[in-house]
Every structure is written in C-alpha cells, then in structure tokens.
Amino acid sequence: MTTASDLSSSDTAATAPPATAARRRGARARSAGSGGMTRRGRLVRGTVGVLATVGALEALGRAHLASEDEFPPASKVLSRAAGLAGDHDFVFVQLKATLEAWGLGMLLAVLIAVPLGLLFGTVPIVNTAARAIVEFLRPIPSVALIPLVGLILGAGLEMKVTLIVYAAVWPLLFNTLYGLRDVDPLAKETLRAFGFGPLSVLWRAVLPAAAPFIYTGIRLAASIALILAVGTEVLSGFGEGLGNFIGQAAIALGGTKDVLAGTVWAGCLGLLVNVLLVLGEKRLFHWHFRGVGK
C-alpha cells in the first residue's frame, strides 16, 4: 500500500531540480566509493603501506637468509637509488633515453589511435572492414615482436618507439570507441536539426563527450608504454636507457643492488607519470567527475 510518506518522497524526488538530484547522487557515490575516508586518510594509509613494505624487506635483508650481494637490505637499495640521482650519466643518458622513447611513442600512439577510433566509431563500414585485422593484431604481445623489429630497425630508438606505439595504440583505440558509444544521440540530432554538419557535430558533441574516455586511455597507455620502454631496453641488451642500465647490472658481479635501484627508479617514474595524469584529468574534466561522483 502506498502511504502518504511514500507519495511525499516521490513528489520531492520528482520536483527536485536535476542539478540538485545529480549533486545528491554524486555525494552518495563519493561517500560509497571512498568508504567515508578523507584524502588525508587515504594518503596516510598509503604511506603506512609503503613503510610497512620497506620495513619488511629491510628485515628480510638483515636476517641474512641470503647473502647481501643476492638480497641487499631495502635501506641500501634506496640509498643506492638516491645516489643515482646525482649520477650525470644515469640521469642525462640512461633516464633521458628512456623518457625520450616513452614520450615520442606516446605522442605517435595518440596521433594514430584517436583518429582511427573516431573513424571506426563514426563510419560503420570502415569499422566492419577493419575489425578482423584489429582482433588479429591486438592479442600479439609486444615483447614477441622485439626480435622481428630489432632485425628490421636495429636496437635503437626506432625499435623502442615502434614497440611502444604498437602496445599503446590498443587502449587508446578502444577507449576512444567506448567514448563514442557514450555520446548522447539527442545532442547529435539536435545539432543536425539546427543545420550543423558532420565536422561540427564531431567537434561540438562527440569529442567533448568522448574526451574523458580518451584521457583514460592515455593513462592506461602511459603505463604500458613505460613498461615497453624499459622492457625493450632490458631484452635488447644494447643502446641506452634505464632498462639497459638494469640489464647490464644484472650480468655484473654484485650488481643486484643496482638492479633493484634501477627497478625503484622505474617504479617511481611510473608513479610520477600516473599522479601527473590523474591531476590533469581532474583539472581538465572536473565537470565529468562531478557528474559521476568521483
């Protein structure tokens, strides 16, 4: 049986302004998503987790379960990683080479994948024609192409950039396609009814709606690109880069500390890239986060 309070609640929900209702939904989603935890609380918990992990690795290293050359304490690894920051060759040769390959690969991946995604998403016949080749190429691991690309292009910047582009294109391409599916059909039809052409509809309705999804694809691709940059350098065994530093240390006598220090640097680069992209995402698409309650 419908009670007076039910009717009152229904009337209130029906008459509430859309913006107010959206804010309420956003507040509930933010509360549920964060578990009621503040930003400072999440930072504190994250810091505690890092310190606990470092402490555990330090204790294992000091327990002498293995020789220090094979498993050095965390404090010595972190000290070595900090010392590498003052090494001119490490920073301006090895790190620079990795970041150059990563940046160039990401730029080319965006320039290739986003237009392709827009083409596939807006021209069904092209999407149908290309679907088979896309599904054939997508599962091929990028590392499996290292020997082939190395034979064709050599073990240099060209090889790294090619493999980075190949790996980074897929998350960008598919996130662009997902973004196009999220575009409000009514917005496109309204623009067409007022005489706007296909390019104007694309610029005014499609791209703004798909942009958050494309940016998420960039975040995913950035991590994959960094993995490929370092991994390609390690496996190729030639040239310059952070991965080359790790690979050379791995075959050197007592090089475990340098291997782990280089790995710390790789993790810090990935963390820094992700933090910067997250901050950029919240600044560029603040309207989107308010709408989804993030």
First CA to last CA across the chain, in angstroms? Answer: 37
**pLDDT per position as a tens digit, 28-85:** 444 444 455 687 888 888 888 888 888 888 888 888 777 777 888 889 999 999 999 9
Per-residue pLDDT, 24: 46
Q: Which helix (H) or strand (E) holds 4?
A: helix 4-15
- Closest Cα to residue 117, out of 222, 109, 231? 109
* Domain range summary for the chain, segments of one domain joined by +: 17-65, 70-292
3-state secondary structure (DSSP) of residue 252: coil
Q: Look at 15-19, 63-67, 101-105 and tell me which has the smallest mean pLDDT.
A: 15-19
- Whole-number percent of the chain with pLDDT over 70: 84
> Domain 70-292: which topology?
MetI-like fold (1.10.3720)
**pLDDT per position as a tens digit, 227-261:** 999 999 998 777 789 999 999 999 888 889 999 99
Per-residue pLDDT, 6: 43
Q: One-letter amino acid identity for 49?
A: G
Per-residue pLDDT, 218: 95
Per-residue pLDDT, 265: 96
Other beta carbons within 10 Å of 184: 11
Contact (CB, 8 A) for 228 and 187: no
Contact (CB, 8 A) for 281 and 215: yes
Q: What is the mean pLDDT of the chain?
A: 82
pTM of the model: 0.79
As to burial, measured by CB atoms within 10 angstroms (0-12 exposed, 13-18 middle, 19+ buried), residue 228 is buried
**pLDDT per position as a tens digit, 57-68:** 888 888 877 777
At residue 191, does pLDDT exceed 90? Answer: no
